[in-house]
């Protein structure tokens, strides 16, 4: 595992963690759902209240700035954050279709798209192979499931997953 690979993993973690940290710090201020409360044709919310514009904006801004600090372009950070948030929104959309409540646990569905999409978007820039991507996604799943539990224990997350 090389330094560039670890930096990519850190950027993906940043994109996914920034909204959680801001929710903890800002509480219920400035929370506007991405789906504006719309209901899909199946009479279920498109995404739910937990997917907010605040979270999307902080993920994109934080990841872009962190990418710059690591020596990458802002565009690289933007791609990584956009991929991670797209994966997160897709997971929420699928969970709503499956009748799962917002913020309910869906192992792998919650982690794989959030790490796979950004890896695919920067695959060439980071010179990733399919095996690298599989390894990256696996590490992210393990990290996210482990750290989520810790963040719950110290009161940052609402749920241990």
Phi/psi for 108 (5° steps) reads 75, -45
* Residue 104 vs residue 3, higher pLDDT: 3
Whether residue 158 lies inside any domain: the answer is no
Whether residue 161 lies inside any domain: the answer is no
- Domain tally, the chain: 1
Banded model confidence at residue 27, pLDDT cuts 50, 70, 90: confident
Question: Looking at residues 42-51, what average pLDDT do you find?
Answer: 95
**Tens digits of residue pLDDT in 117-126:** 999 999 999 9
Mean pLDDT over each residue of the chain, to the nearest integer? 95
**Distance of alpha carbon 15 from alpha carbon 92, whole angstroms:** 16
**Tens digits of residue pLDDT in 61-85:** 999 999 999 999 999 999 999 999 9
Quick one: which of 136, 38, 128, 151 has its CA closest to 87? Answer: 136
Examine the pLDDT at 101 and tell me if it is beyond 90: no
- Please report the sign of the dihedral spanned by the C-alpha atoms of residue 10, residue 12, residue 16, residue 22: positive
Examine the pLDDT at 135 and tell me if it is beyond 90: yes
101-129 per-residue burial string, b: 16 or more CB within 10 A, e: under 16:
eebeeeeebbbbbbbbbbbebbeeebebe
- Say if residues 67 and 122 touch (Cβ distance below 8 Å): no
pLDDT value of position 46 = 96
- Say if residues 150 and 138 touch (Cβ distance below 8 Å): no
Whether residue 160 lies inside any domain: the answer is no
Whether residue 159 lies inside any domain: the answer is no
> Domain residues for 64?
3-153
pLDDT value of position 73 = 98
Question: Looking at residues 101-114, what average pLDDT do you find?
Answer: 92
Banded model confidence at residue 10, pLDDT cuts 50, 70, 90: very high
Whether residue 90 lies inside any domain: the answer is yes
């Amino acid at each position: 595992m090389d330094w560039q690979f670890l930096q990519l993993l850190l950027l993906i973690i940043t994109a996914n963690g920034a909204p959680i940290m801001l929710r903890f710090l800002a509480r219920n201020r400035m929370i506007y759902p991405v789906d504006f409360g719309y209901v899909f044709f199946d009479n279920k919310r498109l995404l739910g209240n937990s997917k907010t514009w605040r979270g999307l904006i902080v993920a994109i801004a934080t990841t872009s700035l962190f990418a710059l600090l690591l020596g990458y372009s802002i565009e690289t950070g933007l791609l990584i954050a956009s991929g991670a948030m797209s994966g997160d929104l897709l997971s929420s959309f699928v969970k709503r279709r499956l009748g799962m409540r917002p913020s309910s646990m869906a192992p792998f569905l919650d982690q794989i798209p959030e790490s796979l999409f950004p890896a695919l978007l920067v695959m060439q820039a980071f010179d990733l192979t399919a095996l690298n991507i599989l390894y990256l996604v696996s590490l992210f799943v393990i990290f996210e499931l482990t750290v989520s539990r810790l963040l719950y224990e110290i009161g940052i997350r609402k749920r241990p997953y």
